[in-house]
Structure 1
Amino acid sequence: MSSSDIFIGEIIGTAVLILLGGGVVAAVVLKRSKAQNAGWLAITFGWGFAVMTAVYMAGTLSGAHLNPAVTVGIAIKDGDWSNAPVYFAGQLLGAMLGAFLVWVAYYGQFQAHLTDPEIISAPPHEEGMVDQKAAPKAGPVLGVFSTGPEVRVVWQNLATEIIGTAVLVLAVLTQGLNDSGKGLGVLGALITALVVVSIGLSLGGPTGYAINPARDLGPRIMHALLPLPNKGGSDWSYAWIPVVGPLVGGALAAGIYNIAFA
């Protein structure tokens, strides 16, 4: 596959992933949404279906990595980093585009939510365990765009992202992603989607399971840039965890694969 195919495929696939994944979060949490308060099950299955749809779309173009941690895992497994920068660039741009489209699709709901007196007058949600005053304040709709911990304990938050991503990437690698040069295929897309649902249900509680650096960083950048009223902070002090944790998890999964399966 050519570099242009990879770049275009990753932009399209990651944009669809974030559009549908971020969209289900917006549907559940924003006021004036018909799906408001649908709950965690809706979010986890929505993200799983988002992965499945995105993989189907991008698979023949780029292999549908859609995740820098997957790209790292495959590069370590195969010993080939030549296309990694193209994958990373497409994934980040696609994630930003997807987040922008979520804002467009839910523009009225964002406005209603962020201008609601109940939201404006509510005290900021300070995530933290030891020093509440020192904890960065995340804006009231940041969770639509990116992840954050329920309890801010750095080593635990980092470990949770590493573990969850290692499970995801090992599941991808053991399906033989990219062995044929055509991505996961029909069955692989479904299996990966169900793995994402499982990770969300089992390991999503502590941090919201980013398990994808582009999925978290791209939308967080868009949260900072978009003209959202009363949007609050983008919690940049936490932003390194859902980037570093998944990258470490992807590398760890590749190491396990090379030792146990190669």
Structure 2
Amino acid sequence: MTYALGVRLMAEFIGTAIMIVLGNGAVANVDLKGTKGNGSDWMMIAVGYGCGVLIPALMFGSISGNHINPAFTIGLAVSGMFPWNEVVPYILAQFAGAMVGQLIVVLTYKPHYDLTTNTQHVLGTFSTIDATKSKFNGFVNEFFGTYILILGALGITKAPFFHANVGVAHFGLGFLVATLVASLGGPTGPALNPARDLGPRIVHALLPLKHKGSSEWGYSWVPVVAPLLAGIAGVATYKFIFM
């Protein structure tokens, strides 16, 4: 069944919002002062982001393709696997969803934002920054992480043994994201998705948080440009070798 563009855009909007709520919500639970999960380990964040991709994929994979990531949308378009006239609407829906999802995280954790004086922990619940303040290291991390994500997502969802039930493949996609966060998340977070980083970063810059600190705009291009280039490369690799 083919859905109208408006329906698919709503799926992208809601799916991206859910990803941010479950992913950045897990970060907030770990890093913000006074939460029930404060001080928990990195695996809680990995599970949050894994499920943050898995749940929307199960909900909307058969409706919009569940891109929820401009790197995937643009990568598909460059390789001729997605119509260019729908790229901008998809990306706008993804960014809007990311920003609304972040507002929900702030609303639900507001007392804990007020208690948290570590501005890096506050920013970390919105967007990413390289742990060593290295743009080069951040770029390398985001590029290879996103490359594996995009190549893996296509490989999993198009695998022959999932043709009878693509929904099962989405569980593999969720595990892939969780593993990427666990394995490559140490240096940057990671973002792996321009909307996931830039949308919440804009929200961080606009909100009057009690202990806000810098939005780190000097770094902000890294989790946008690196995933976009990696998305193009990942889709092209899969198409060249396997299609």
TM over 0.5: yes
Describe how 1:34-73 pairs up with structure 2 within 5 A: 34-73=36-75
Corresponding residue for 2:202? 221
Corresponding residue for 1:128? none
Which has the larger displacement, 50-59 or 19-28?
Answer: 50-59
Structure 2: stretches of 5+ with no match in the other structure: 159-164
Deviation of residue 79 (structure 1)? 5.8
Map Cα deviations across residues 157-214 of structure 1 (whole Å, 9 max, x no partner): 111111000100011122346xxxxxx9421221111110111111111111100000
When residues 141 and 214 of structure 1 are mapped into structure 2, their CA distance, relative to the original with a 3 A threshold, is same
Deviation of residue 139 (structure 1)? 4.4
When residues 93 and 49 of structure 1 are mapped into structure 2, their CA distance, relative to the original with a 3 A threshold, is same
Corresponding residue for 2:83? 80
Corresponding residue for 1:174? 155
Q: Is this contact kept in 1: 2:71–2:232, CA < 8 A?
A: yes
Other structure's SS at 1:175 match: helix
> Could you tell me which of 2, 6, 9 is aligned with 1:7?
9
Cα RMSD (Å) of the superposition? 1.6
Provide the rounded CA distance (Å) in 1 between the counterparts of 2:156 and 2:41: 31
Provide the rounded CA distance (Å) in 2 between the counterparts of 1:60 and 1:9: 10
Structure 1: stretches of 5+ with no match in the other structure: 120-137, 178-183
Provide the rounded CA distance (Å) in 2 between the counterparts of 1:13 and 1:164: 21
State the one-letter code of the partner of 1:244.
Answer: V
Deviation of residue 141 (structure 1)? 0.4
Deviation of residue 151 (structure 1)? 1.2
Other structure's SS at 1:26 match: helix
> Could you tell me which of 205, 222, 226 is aligned with 1:245?
226
Provide the rounded CA distance (Å) in 2 between the counterparts of 1:6 and 1:26: 29
TM-score norm. by structure 2 comes to: 0.91
Provide the rounded CA distance (Å) in 1 between the counterparts of 2:82 and 2:111: 47
Deviation of residue 58 (structure 1)? 2.4
TM-score norm. by structure 1 comes to: 0.85
Q: How many residue pairs are counted as aligned between the two chains?
A: 234
> Could you tell me which of 109, 113, 117 is aligned with 1:110?
113
The answer to whether structure 1 residue 197 and structure 2 residue 178 are counterparts is yes
State the one-letter code of the partner of 1:106.
Answer: Y
Q: Is this contact kept in 1: 2:157–2:166, CA < 8 A?
A: no
Other structure's SS at 1:229 match: coil
State the one-letter code of the partner of 1:196.
Answer: V
Q: Is this contact kept in 1: 2:141–2:187, CA < 8 A?
A: yes
Corresponding residue for 2:144? 163
Provide the rounded CA distance (Å) in 1 between the counterparts of 2:75 and 2:154: 8
Corresponding residue for 1:233? 214
Q: Is this contact kept in 1: 2:128–2:190, CA < 8 A?
A: yes
Other structure's SS at 1:31 match: coil
Map Cα deviations across residues 23-63 of structure 1 (whole Å, 9 max, x no partner): 00000011110000111111111110111112222223311
State the one-letter code of the partner of 1:252.
Answer: A
Larger radius of gyration: 1
Deviation of residue 152 (structure 1)? 2.2
Provide the rounded CA distance (Å) in 1 between the counterparts of 2:121 and 2:135: 21
State the one-letter code of the partner of 1:101.
Answer: I
Q: Is this contact kept in 1: 2:18–2:52, CA < 8 A?
A: yes
> Could you tell me which of 16, 19, 32 is aligned with 2:18?
16
Deviation of residue 80 (structure 1)? 2.9
Corresponding residue for 1:126? none
